[in-house]
Structure 1
Amino acid sequence: MKNTAMNLCGALVVSSFMALGSTVLTSAATAQDGPPKWTVGGLTLVNESPLGAEGTSFNAFPYISYRGDRFYLQGLEAGYRLLPPPENQDDLHLSLNVIVAARTLAGSSRDKITADAGIKAGLHGSFGSVTATVLQDITDTHNGQEVSLGYNYSFRSDKLVITPGISVKWQSRKLANHMWGVTARQREKMIEDGKDAILPVYQLSDDVINYSAELMALYRIDDRWSVIGFANSTYLDSKVRENPGITKKYDLTIGLGVGYSF
């Protein structure tokens, strides 16, 4: 039962979805000033794993977020705002947050959940949002680091918000091995657990840089209910793609969600 639960968790919350999934349903709450502060809902995901032996997975899971004056919870990320938000979100302003975020591995063959802590800084205004994030592993699992830079812009109408975005992520060698490598012990465990996908052992020898593009569409049915469609694709560094178990150049997730804010 424990292994089954861990397999499901790894399959549901794929790493390529973390950045998008942690904010997509929260948009239903933050799109308006003041209350509501809570959003609950569900997400349905289709993930095209870069690991060729795994193929495509279909999964669904619940979602919850909280937006306080300073503290917030967004899916797999919790944070504390060091700078107060402006009254008008379109005004030019800075954001600076201390965050803790869970990290999962791409695919479902390597069961592992770790946690990172760091700083997220942003510049926001009518031009969109530019954000930079620095993360460090705090579980003593791999002790790797990640630095990311992203940009997104929202096109708004009365009830519809469409937000495309791009980002680039540098991952240290230790983190890259954790994310995209396969250890001998992991392979042994796949065999012991009778996994359908038995991945070859592979270790990266250098840092990597991955590029991502995402698209989110949020439709507000009323003041409480929202429907969200989203897609995220990460183009993998050539050093990642040298792993013989990785047969695709990208990690792709698309999905649909519904949220209720109160």
Structure 2
Amino acid sequence: MKKLLLLALLAQTAAAEEAPSDGPPGPPSRWGLGVGAVASDSPYAGEGTRVMPVPLISYQGEKFFFQGIRAGWQFVRTDAFEFAAIAQFKFDGFDIKDLSRQQLAANGLDYRLLEDRDDSLDAGVTAKWSGMAGEIELELLTDVTDKSGGQQFSLQYGYPLHWGQTMVTPNVGVTWLSDDTANYYYGTLDKEVARGAIDYKPDAATIPHVGVNVMRSFGRNWSAFAFLKYSVLPDEIKDSPFLEPDSNGSASILIGVSRNF
């Protein structure tokens, strides 16, 4: 569930930057404040579906920006291309006590042999190309805290559709996890195997996803939005003993409202 904070805290800035405006021109907005709610159907054993309210805070300067749990420096920012160095928290960790002991046991895992998975701080670069054919976003991150010691590469394509002050952006993409990243969050650690846990290491994995973003502006400063995403789990991950049996995917949705200042 914690990983959805990243989606929620980044969404308010996306809404502020992308939603069409029906107000008069004026100085660019620097601050954004809002509130939202995020829900997810977690594939991890016993987590189920959860709903959580979240605050949304962002800042955009000439070069420096932060979006809740992400901060960065933009080297290039034009209508057609953006390129930035970023650092952000990765909320893919989990506590063993939050998982179902019965379901872990059914998957062959004794919770007493297991350890929590920690969150991390990732750093890397992000780039975005925009044009008549749509938008392409690329992101390359590495774990600088050495929790997993791995990397993550994401590529997404979206095509914005405008209806007055409403914008709908269907999107598709893939996220590649290095073997270190996939093994840490979905496999058993060497120290756990040494205690008697089953040895499962999924190696590198590619996770495709589909989604849609809906944004609606109200005047120059207010916007409402909803982000829906469904990720399809590859065999390397859905066979993990940490997951619910027959977990083929993971769905999440965010709805919120924000105001720019």
The 5-angstrom pairing of residues 107-186 of structure 1 reads 109=98, 110=116, 112-183=118-189
Q: Give TM-score scaled by structure 1 length.
A: 0.79
- Quote the residue 2:75 is aligned against: 82
Unaligned runs of 5+ in 2: 99-115
Say if 1:43 and 1:112 are closer, same or farther in 2 by CA, change over 3 A.
Answer: farther
20-29 or 63-72: which moved more? 20-29
Q: How far 1:107 moved relative to its partner?
A: 6.4
Tell me which of 242, 245, 260 is aligned to 2:242. 245
Deviation digits for residues 136-188 of structure 1 (CA, Å, limit 9, x no counterpart): 101121210111211112112322111111111111111112232355889xx
Q: How far 1:111 moved relative to its partner?
A: 6.0
- Quote the residue 2:102 is aligned against: none
148-157 or 108-117: which moved more? 108-117
Unaligned runs of 5+ in 1: 1-10, 187-199
- What is the DSSP-based 3-state SS (H/G/I as helix, E as strand, rest coil) of the residue aligned with 1:26? helix
Paired positions, count? 231
Tell me which of 36, 49, 57 is aligned to 1:56. 49
- Quote the residue 1:190 is aligned against: none
Deviation digits for residues 65-113 of structure 1 (CA, Å, limit 9, x no counterpart): 1111111112322111111x23xx3xxx332211111101276635632
RMSD: 2.5
| % identical aligned pairs | 25
Q: How far 1:205 moved relative to its partner?
A: 4.0
- What is the DSSP-based 3-state SS (H/G/I as helix, E as strand, rest coil) of the residue aligned with 2:184? helix
CA distance in 2: counterparts of 1:102 and 1:130, whole angstroms: 23
Q: How far 1:246 moved relative to its partner?
A: 1.5
Matched, 1:99 2:99: no
CA distance in 2: counterparts of 1:21 and 1:61, whole angstroms: 7
CA distance in 2: counterparts of 1:201 and 1:14, whole angstroms: 26
- What is the DSSP-based 3-state SS (H/G/I as helix, E as strand, rest coil) of the residue aligned with 1:240? helix
The 5-angstrom pairing of residues 190-209 of structure 1 reads 203-209=200-206
Say if 1:154 and 1:22 are closer, same or farther in 2 by CA, change over 3 A.
Answer: farther
Tell me which of 211, 214, 217 is aligned to 1:214. 211
Structure 1 contact 51–107 (Cα < 8 Å) conserved: no
Residue type of the alignment partner of 1:230 = F
CA distance in 2: counterparts of 1:148 and 1:176, whole angstroms: 14
Deviation digits for residues 211-242 of structure 1 (CA, Å, limit 9, x no counterpart): 11121111112222211112111111211111
Say if 1:184 and 1:256 are closer, same or farther in 2 by CA, change over 3 A.
Answer: farther
Residue type of the alignment partner of 1:25 = Q
Q: Give TM-score scaled by structure 2 length.
A: 0.79
Structure 1 contact 182–201 (Cα < 8 Å) conserved: yes
Q: How far 1:120 moved relative to its partner?
A: 1.1
CA distance in 2: counterparts of 1:224 and 1:182, whole angstroms: 48
Structure 1 contact 204–240 (Cα < 8 Å) conserved: no
Structure 1 contact 181–201 (Cα < 8 Å) conserved: no
